[in-house]
């Protein structure tokens, strides 16, 4: 008979992943069915869920002598001094509590121990074993679900780790970054560039975001939330970086589960930004415009814009206001509003496809909504004539007056993490204390899309807090054109293209 040996560290992670997945699904069902869990302090939920974990471990070991994870991975949990005997309920409870509440210490203790026994095993006097597998031989499984479970758990562990620590796939769903990034671009986001953000919402089904695939069911529970923490990054966000972040104004979701947006960072902490006649200024100096930056133009013609002409000159259907329908007739001519770059305008004017191409300002669409920060100062600002607006920086103190309170009220209330904040005249009442000045607790960024007239960005919903940053757009690995059929649908010239 083969010897019983301690399993490798990675196989331990696999079995724990399976058990954790079972437990997370149970917790998500319970907490979503009983919403009061989200209203009690996080520490209470940690205690309640720890108790549920103990019940999980003891129940499975009592009636089956192993947890689902241990069974799928072909492992046995035994008493250390009697390797043929199952642990007692007391030993199981001690083991789970230590593993659950002191998991960083447990991981380190397993790594440094020659027998791969962790702190939880030594204190509970237990040992985790599996059949010895000779080198070069294929692992023997007792049934088919063990083989499938081993393969699936391996894939989940690797994919989850890579997705959390390094690269996350992202798809461009809208034209807000055209023509820098195109609808249908599939890209990787490098999370290590600015520092990987630790999970804030740990109760989440792996490889999901807000919903379970193909359903409208929540894939997470916010009953437990971890404090914000970010690992050191290789660089800081700079002006003109293309950044993926969580949409700040989506208040119904935890920070790390808000919808991912992608924009260009045009303002970093401490900058003062403004837009004058569509030209961006940073700290009083004209910014360098992205080469593919677009604005809407009024394009007049006596004819209808045909599909083959539109495609020939790289005008996507989403570039035309009203989805390829002429906006109105003007003096007997058809008028199209088209998102174009400066280079695109030059080419179209040279070809004489349109009778005339005229500059356009977004306010001509008669959109009367206020822009951020929705203050008296900004009531006459527009997307094309915006600011001046200072971007908050961590550690910087501002003197409060009615103007400053109005401009920064939403930012302080929504993102600074105070228990209670309210504006009282030209001051803030923060956590019950009236203050006449305020020091920002984190950095903020101002994001804009390169397709300036077709981008919902910081001009409309405000600053992006540092804790909402996901990572830097890194590489396009695939690009599909929805207007073409296979194989022309694949934009081969964009595949594996680095993003600058």
Q: Are 127 and 120 in contact (CB under 8 A)?
A: no
Q: Report the C-alpha dihedral over residues 251, 253, 254, 258, rounded to 10 degrees.
A: -90
Is 454 a catalytic site residue? no
Helix (H, G, I), strand (E, B) or coil at 285: strand
CA distance 253 to 190: 23
Active site residue 176: yes
The angle subtended at Cα 230 by Cα 227 and Cα 231, nearest 5°, is 135
Alpha-carbon distances of 36 from 217, 221, 477, rounded to whole Å: 18, 12, 43
| Residue labelled with tokens 């642990």 | 87
* CA–centroid distance for 415 within its chain: 16
Please enumerate in sequence order all residues whose Cβ is within 8 A of that of 389, keeping only pairs 6 or more positions apart, or say none. Answer: 272, 273, 274, 373, 378, 407, 446
Of 447, 15, 14, 418, the residue nearest 237 (C-alpha): 447
198: left (phi over 0), alpha (psi -120 to 50) or beta: beta
The catalytic position among 258, 263, 278, 427 is 263
Which residue in 109, 153, 176, 454 is the catalytic one?
176
Cβ partners under 8 Å of residue 69, min gap 6:
14, 15, 16, 17, 18, 19, 20, 22, 75, 153
Look up tokens 């940690």; give the residue. 46
Give the distance from CA 31 to its chain's centroid: 23
Query: Concatenated DSSP letters for 138-160?
Result: PPP-SSHHHHHHHHHHHHHHHHH
Q: Which residues are catalytic?
A: 176, 263
């Amino acid at each position: 008979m083969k010897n019983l040996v301690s399993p490798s560290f990675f196989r331990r992670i696999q079995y724990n992943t399976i058990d954790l997945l079972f437990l997370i699904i149970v917790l998500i069902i319970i907490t979503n069915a009983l919403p009061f869990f989200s209203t009690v302090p996080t520490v209470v939920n940690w205690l309640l869920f720890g108790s549920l974990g103990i019940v999980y471990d003891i129940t499975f070991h009592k009636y089956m002598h192993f947890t689902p994870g241990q069974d799928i991975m072909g492992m046995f949990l035994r008493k250390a001094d009697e390797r043929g005997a199952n642990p007692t309920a007391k030993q199981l409870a001690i083991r789970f509590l230590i593993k659950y509440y002191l998991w960083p210490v447990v991981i380190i203790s397993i790594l440094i121990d020659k027998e791969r026994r962790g702190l939880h095993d030594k204190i509970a006097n237990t040992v985790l074993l599996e059949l010895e597998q000779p080198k070069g031989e294929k692992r023997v499984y007792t049934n088919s679900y063990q083989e499938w479970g081993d393969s699936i758990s391996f894939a989940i562990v690797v994919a989850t780790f890579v997705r959390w620590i390094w690269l996350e796939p992202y798809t461009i769903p809208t034209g807000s970054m055209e023509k820098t990034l195109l609808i249908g671009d599939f890209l990787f986001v490098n999370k290590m560039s600015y520092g990987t953000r630790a999970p804030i919402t740990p109760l989440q089904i792996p490889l999901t975001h807000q919903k379970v695939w193909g359903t409208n069911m929540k894939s997470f529970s916010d009953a437990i939330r971890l404090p914000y923490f970010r690992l050191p990054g290789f660089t800081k966000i700079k002006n003109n970086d293309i950044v993926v972040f969580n949409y700040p104004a989506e208040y119904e979701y935890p920070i790390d589960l808000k919808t991912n947006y992608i924009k260009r960072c045009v303002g970093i902490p401490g900058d003062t930004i403004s837009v004058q006649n569509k030209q961006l200024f940073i700290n009083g100096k004209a910014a360098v415009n992205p080469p593919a930056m677009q604005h809407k133009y009024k394009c007049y013609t006596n004819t209808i814009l045909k599909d083959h002409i539109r495609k020939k000159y790289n005008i996507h259907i989403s570039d035309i206001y009203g989805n390829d329908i002429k906006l109105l007739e003007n003096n007997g001519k058809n008028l199209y509003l088209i998102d174009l770059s400066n280079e695109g305008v030059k080419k179209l004017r040279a070809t004489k496809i349109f009778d005339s191409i005229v500059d356009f300002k977004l306010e001509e669409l008669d959109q009367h909504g206020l822009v951020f920060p929705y203050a008296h100062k900004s009531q006459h600002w527009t997307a094309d004539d915006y600011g001046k607006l200072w971007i908050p920086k961590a550690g910087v103190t501002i003197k409060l007056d009615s103007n400053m309170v109005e401009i920064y009220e939403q930012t302080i209330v929504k993102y600074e993490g105070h228990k209670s904040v309210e504006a009282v005249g030209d001051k803030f009442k923060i956590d019950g204390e009236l203050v006449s000045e305020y020091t920002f607790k984190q950095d903020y960024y101002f994001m804009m899309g390169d397709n300036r007239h077709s981008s919902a960005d910081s001009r409309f919903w405000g600053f992006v807090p540092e804790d909402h940053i996901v990572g830097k757009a890194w590489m396009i690995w695939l690009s599909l054109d929805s207007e073409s059929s296979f194989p022309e649908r694949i934009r081969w010239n964009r595949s594996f293209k680095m993003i600058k």
